[in-house]
Structure 1
Amino acid sequence: MNSVDTILNMRVMTYNIRHGKGMDGQTNLRRLVEEIAKANADVVTLQGVDRFLPQSGFKDQLKKLAKQLRMYSCFSPSVNLLIVQYGNAILSRYPIISKEIKYIGGSIERRSALTARLQIGEESVTVLNTHLGVHTKERMKQIPILWDALNKLERPAIIAGDFNMEMDDPLMKQLKSRWQKIALQKKHSTEDNGGEIDHIFVNMLIEQASAWVQPSDVSDHYPVIAELRWRLDKSLYTTT
């Protein structure tokens, strides 16, 4: 099929799982699997993923999630102490043909951005997953590093994650000028504290798009899900 005629439909989910610690204070990987499966997403970007930490029973959470959901996976260890790791992950129904980790600093804990290229038939799509710092001073240092990484992404691309900022934050201005946020169908918080800080953006020409929040008590954040449909015409993404 000619790439000009290629129509791609994709369901994307972003979710800060807080290592599966629910609002009841219990960490339960089984109900986390059920929560992710409920969304029926093709690509899932996760933040707050543990590997071999005591707080989550010394489990490799990503390995178990990928196996039970039957998805490909990759990981960026924002915190890395020997085998003990904590960071971001991408789950995908499509093969992951490459990944890149970009460390973006942080005063309380190191943060990272995980980029993966997914093979979808004869085409590929780039996905970047990140989790920015809690405090403004941290984000002011992280944002220029992240923006530099975004400017180097192969198109078409999707970025998603926990930005710890709402869209009216001045630090989001540059992102809004170059990327299209997939807006929620209905105004809704994406975390228990009431803010909309988990976002999904694209840099391709979207034919149809919608996004919504999946109510949940499996974490202190709610899953954000976007349904995307776009026509893949390589000439639209060629830079000179």
Structure 2
Amino acid sequence: MLTVMSFNIASGKRIDGKLDLELTAQAIEQGQVDVAGLQEVDRNFSSRSRFWDQAKWLSNRLGMHMAYGPNLVDRGAGGARPKREYGNAILSRYPILSFRNHDLSAVEVHPEEFEPRGMLEAIIEMEGFRFSFYNTHLSLIDEEVDRNLTEIIAITTDNPLAQVLVGDFNAAPSTKHIQRFSKHFYNGFGSGPYPDTYKKQGDHGQKIDYIFHDAHFQALEAWTIDTDASDHVPIVAKIRNLQNSNNF
């Protein structure tokens, strides 16, 4: 069995806006996960996260292997402070053999809201079985999401390995984006009621975070974790490798 998570950590800020990366770590621990895909992860970014390398801190705190894919990079003017980065991270209890960050195309429809997007891929080995774990955070702009989904489908179609893909898609299950993507991947929550995954104070909740997998896997169960560690809730799925006779 493989337990996986998707969690937009909002730079370690709780739902009340206060920085609390320890609460982030506790939420991940609560899921008892093998692999977690985290979005909105700061690395030496700004005072909002105390210029911490959040990916490294969480990796050390949880005792997990780590891969990081920056999408927003400010190299600054040099000096003692390292470059500022913001992006996605993957934490794994099992060895990460390699990783790369796939740049996704940008459509600068609203320059004031522009944010580079990417998809982090890690090749992980668990008990002799290798698979690709992808983690992404998509835009709110329809045209950009359409283009990025085309790119993601092309990248994953060319990959012979088993695949799990998680992330913040900024789209509800009923949207054309998720309907389109569901023709290529299976939703970890199946066809049942989909839980709210994003809830700011005063909001009624939105369903925008996902765990997808390909035909190598079967989802056995999926759930959310009740926490105030972020304005998103972590989502978790337990999946089984259909090609493994030992039930991994």
Same fold by TM (over 0.5)? yes
Q: Which residue of 2 aligns with 1:3?
A: none
1:182 matched to 2:188? The reply is yes
Residue 122 (structure 2) aligns with: 116
Q: CA deviation at 1:103?
A: 0.7
Q: Does residue 67 in structure 1 map to residue 31 in structure 2? A: no
Structure 1 residue 100 corresponds to structure 2 residue 111: no
Distance in 2 (alpha carbons) for counterparts of 1:201 and 1:223: 14
How far is the alpha carbon of 1:53 from its aligned partner? 1.6
Tell me the SS of whatever aligns to 1:177: coil
How does 1:111-190 map onto structure 2 within 5 Å?
A: 111-183=117-189, 187-190=194-197
Please report the RMSD computed on the Cα atoms of aligned residues, expressed in angstroms: 1.7
**What is the match of residue 12 of structure 1?**
4
Deviation at 1:233?
A: 5.4
Aligned-pair identity (%): 29
TM alignment of 1:44-63, pairs within 5 A: 44-54=36-46, 55-63=48-56
- SS where residue 209 of structure 1 aligns? strand
TM-score by length of 2: 0.86
Query: Could you say what secondary structure the match of 1:23 adopts?
Result: coil
Distance 1:152 1:143 in 2: 14
Q: Secondary structure at the match of 2:242?
A: strand
Query: Residue 63 of structure 2 aligns to which amino acid in structure 1?
Result: R
Q: Deviations over 1:4-57 (max 9, x none)?
A: xxxxx1000000001011111101111111111111100000000000122100
Q: 2:123–2:133: 8 Å Cα contact kept in structure 1?
A: yes
CA distance in 1, matches of 2:125, 2:60: 19
Q: How high is the TM-score relative to the length of structure 1?
A: 0.89
* Counterpart Cα distance in 2 of 1:233 and 1:67: 31
Aligned to 1:38, which of 22, 27, 30? 30
User: Is residue 126–residue 154 contact of structure 1 (8 Å, CA) maintained in 2?
Assistant: no
Query: Gaps spanning 5+ residues in structure 1: where?
Result: 1-8, 235-240
Runs of 5+ in structure 2 lacking a partner?
76-82, 109-113
How many residues are matched? 226
Work out the CA distance in 2 between the residues paired with 1:177 and 1:186.
18
